[in-house]
Chains A and B, each alone.
Chain A
Amino acid sequence: MSQAATEIVRISAHAGSVPGDGLNREFRVCKLVDTTTCIGCKACEVACLEWNGYSFSETTFDNSYQTMPETQWNYWNLIKFNEHEREDGTMQLLMRKDQCMHCAEPGCLEACPAEGAIVQYANGIVDFQEEHCIGCGYCISGCPFNIPKFSPTARKVFKCTLCNDRVSQGLEPACIKACPTGCLHFGTKLEMNDLAEHRAAQLREHSGFADAGVYDPPGVGGTHVIYVLHDAKNPQLYGGLPKDPHVPITVRLWKGPLKWIGNLAIVGGLLGVFIHYLRFGPKVVKEDEKTDEGDK
């Protein structure tokens, strides 16, 4: 956004074209997770905790390397370990770094009733503003990725910020910085898409992963965290990555048609009784006037 200040579109008393006019700059950022080169070292988990100031949570042992079953309000970055048995009987250990996907059409934001509690920046980051959060948890229901988590102590909801504080200062997210294999990349959305497609093609052509591909689900308008998967046809193998995520239909119905119908019905009802009163007036029991006065 600061770049826009240096981009000239008109120049006074200038003959000829404006240098740089019509130039398109990509403000959208993106994190690329190449699951094919992840070694499951969890450096990203630790870096996330360190940067965001959370202490390490208790681990849950479940016959796998996975730290805990799912992300927590104070544990935003979790590598999901999945043992997948292939058709030929060989085993494949699928590791996927799970975190907020920063959807272009965020279900959390759509479901949120509190003004200013969730914002989406022009660079694509979807960020919770906890000072405005009322702790209703509608974002939990709106998210197709099971990311927002309720803190019982703060009574508010937290999730990965894509290190908005670092990115706004020109730094890459903490997880990216910590990754030792280079399976995590950070850059503009266009660059990352390009890199991801390139890597997927490489996997298909040279590594025998015929179904390798990029996970950038169009159902939520694309995401600002994208994956390279060995098997893009079965993303659910990677710790329940949804195949075709959408903002839930009931959230859309509620925030769309139901809101209109409901608002019209409430206003119509209030107007209706008012007009009825103007037209017909109250029901007064005739003898009442006499007897009531008699009582007094």
Chain B
Amino acid sequence: MNREPYLLPNGRVLRYSFHERLIHWLAAVPYIYALLSGLAFWSPWLFWIAVILGGTTIARELHPWFGVVFVIATWLMYGMWGRQMRETPSDKAWWANIGHYIRNEDDQMPSADRFNPGQKLLFWGFVGNGVLLLISGLILWFPQYVPWSLRFLRLFAVIVHPICALLTIALFIIHVYMGTAFERGAFGSVIRGDVSRAWAHEHHRTWYERLLRESAERK
């Protein structure tokens, strides 16, 4: 399935292929625009954000378009990672030990596959909320085309859109924190694509050991 070999000749491990990184950022950049402009419309205290995003009317025009690109990228992600993100029986043990993970006691964590259960939660959280954001967002995009008899759709969208957005914000804060500050090496993996063998062994042992096995079999 993957044309690029995972064990790189320089002794490092390919964590995310170019294709995967591209789609990640195709989702991330529009999400951040939609997030910031959405926050501007969420609170009068943050309305100034819309001014720096191109002006208040421009931000309103662009917000849904960026949202659509985000949803398309999330859909591509679903095709790319959906199978790997499925829940496995070992996930329960991982969640049971989440306290160790938070306290950096990683030696006491059960081994994780390519994506650990926390990453799976992030993924499904974005996919699920993405669907709801799209549906409610389309109604909010064109409220003038919703007839008065279907007014309940607008009233549903008005409350569903911010709730789903807030849920993604919760995931987003944790994701960005972990990807940039908390897990050293993770940010590089989604930019350059590679991680050290030690990193792969530490954080995604099941995945790393399978790579080694497959590589040995090929030889």
The size of the chain B interface, using a CB distance under 8 A, is 50
- In the complex the two chains form, what is the Cα distance from A270 to B60 in whole Å? 26
Say whether A91 faces chain B, with CB atoms less than 8 Å apart: no
B199 touches which of A152, A266, A288 (Cβ 8 Å):
A288
Write the B20-46 contact mask toward A (1 if CB under 8 angstroms, else 0): 000000000000000000001111100
Query: From DSSP, what is the main secondary structure of chain A's interface residues?
Result: helix
The size of the chain A interface, using a CB distance under 8 A, is 48
Which residue from chain B places its CB closest to the CB of A254 in the assembled complex? B159
Chain B residues with Cβ below 8 Å from A288 are: 184-185, 196, 198-199
Contact A262 B162 (CB under 8 A): yes
Say whether B155 faces chain A, with CB atoms less than 8 Å apart: yes
- In the complex the two chains form, what is the Cα distance from A251 to B156 in whole Å? 9
Write the B147-160 contact mask toward A (1 if CB under 8 angstroms, else 0): 01001001111110
Chain A residues with Cβ below 8 Å from B162 are: 254, 258, 262
Chain B residues with Cβ below 8 Å from A187 are: none
Say whether A25 faces chain B, with CB atoms less than 8 Å apart: no
Say whether A134 faces chain B, with CB atoms less than 8 Å apart: yes
Say whether B197 faces chain A, with CB atoms less than 8 Å apart: yes
Determine, out of A120-128, A220-228, A272-280, the stretch whose residues face the partner at the interface: A272-280
- In the complex the two chains form, what is the Cα distance from A248 to B143 in whole Å? 15
What's the least CB distance linking B208 to chain A, in Å?
Answer: 12
Chain B residues with Cβ below 8 Å from A249 are: 155
A282 touches which of B50, B151, B156, B182 (Cβ 8 Å):
B182
Say whether B209 faces chain A, with CB atoms less than 8 Å apart: no
What's the least CB distance linking A82 to chain B, in Å?
Answer: 15
B198 touches which of A134, A149, A155, A286 (Cβ 8 Å):
A286
Chain A residues with Cβ below 8 Å from B56 are: 114, 134
Chain A residues with Cβ below 8 Å from B57 are: 134-135, 155
Say whether B212 faces chain A, with CB atoms less than 8 Å apart: no
Chain A residues with Cβ below 8 Å from B169 are: 265-266, 269
Which 7 pairs show the lowest CB-CB distances between chains A and B?
A287-B198, A150-B144, A137-B143, A273-B177, A250-B159, A113-B41, A141-B154
A→B interface (CB under 8 Å): 70, 111, 113-115, 134-138, 140-141, 146, 149-150, 152, 155, 240, 248-251, 253-254, 258-259, 261-263, 265-266, 269-270, 273, 276-277, 280-288, 291-292, 295
A-B contact pairs, 29 of them (CB 8 A): A70-B148, A113-B44, A115-B44, A134-B57, A136-B140, A140-B154, A141-B158, A146-B151, A150-B143, A150-B144, A155-B61, A240-B148, A248-B158, A249-B155, A250-B156, A250-B158, A261-B166, A262-B162, A265-B170, A273-B181, A277-B177, A281-B104, A283-B106, A285-B196, A285-B199, A287-B198, A291-B11, A295-B11, A295-B196
13 other contacts beyond A265-B166, A280-B102, with CB at 8 A cut-off?
A113-B42, A134-B50, A134-B57, A138-B140, A146-B148, A265-B169, A273-B173, A281-B104, A283-B183, A283-B203, A285-B203, A291-B197, A295-B10
B→A interface (CB under 8 Å): 10-12, 40-44, 47, 50, 56-57, 59-61, 102-104, 106, 140, 142-144, 148, 151, 154-159, 162-163, 166, 169-170, 173-174, 177, 181-185, 196-199, 202-203
